[in-house]
Amino acid sequence: MSDIVQAMADSSLNDDVDARGIFGKTKAPDVVGSVIGSLESEDYSMKYGKIGKCLIFNHKLFEPHTRLNDRNGTDADAARLYCRFRELGFEVTLFTDLKVKEVEKELLKAGKDDHKDYSCFVCCVLSHGEQGILYAADAQYKTDRVFAPFRGDACPSLAGKPKLFFIQACQGDRLDCGVNVKCRISSDSGDEKEALRIPTHADFLIVYSTVPGFYSWRNTTNGSWFIQSLCATLQKYAYDIDLLQLLTIVNRRVAYDFESFTPTEADMHLKKQVPCITSTLTKNIRFSPP
C-alpha cells in the first residue's frame, strides 16, 4: 500500500492510456477559442451579446424507397421548439424534410459559422431512428455526424461554450413495459485572463428522447412525449433552475405522465419511455430573460 501512495505522490510519473497502440498520435490543434469569465466559474457565461443559434431539422415525409412511415404529429413538435427557443432569445432556423446531403451541408455550414458573439448553440433533430442512426428524407446517417462539426477542434468559436442537442427519434425496437412502484409518503474577481487546454468533446449536452435500444413514442396529433414535456418544462422553469435540473424534471414527466394507448395492438399497448441524457458539460447552464 505504501508503494501505491508513494507512486501517487510522485509528480514525475506520466499519465498513460488504456489503449496504447490502437490510435495514432494526434497533433495538438492550433485553434484557440475564447470564453468570457473565470475558468473556475460554476456557470457558463451567457454574456456574449447573443444567446445563440438554434437549428431544427424536422422530418415528416420520407421517400418511398426508405419504406418509412410519415411522422404525423412532428409538425406540432417543430412548432413548439421554434416558439420556445425564440422566446429564450435564440435565432431559430427550421428545416423540413431535408435529404442527407442537405442535412450535412447545413450542419457543416453552422459549424463553420463564427459564433464568437454567441453564448451557446442548440440543434434539434426530429426523425425516425435506430441506435446510432438517424434518417433524412432519402437515407440514413450516423448520429455522430450531427455533433462532429461543433467539436472544439472543428468549431473554435464554440470551444468552451455549451452545445445542446435534442434528438427525438427511436433508438431501437424494444418496448418498455414499465414496473409498478408504491410510493411511501412521509409526514414529517478581477480582469485576469486565464488559459486552459480543454478536451475537444467537452461542453456537449445530448438529450435523446429514449434510452438506447428502445422505441420513442409520438402522438399523431399532439406530438412526441419528449418534446411536449421539454417545451412545457422550459416554459415553466427556464429562468429558475439550471438546465440539467430542468431536464431531470423532463425525464420525470415523460416517465410518469405518459403511457402508450394502442388497445387494438396489445403488444404496443400501455408502454413507457424515459429520455436519456449524455453530458460532457463542465459548468451549469442558466438561461436569463432576453
123, 155, 170, 231: the catalytic one is 170
DSSP the chain: -HHHHHHHH-TTPPP--TTTTTS---PPP------SS-TT-SB----SSEEEEEEEEE-----GGG-PPP-TTHHHHHHHHHHHHHHTT-EEEEEES--HHHHHHHHHHHHHS--TTEEEEEEEEES-EETTEEE-SS-EEETHHHHGGGSTTT-GGGTTS-EEEEEES---SB-B-----PPPPP----S--------TTTTEEEEESS-TTB---EETTTEEHHHHHHHHHHHHHTTTS-HHHHHHHHHHHHHHH-----TTSGGGTT-B---EEEE--SSB------
Active site annotation includes 170: yes
120, 128, 155, 231: the catalytic one is 128
Catalytic residues: 128, 170
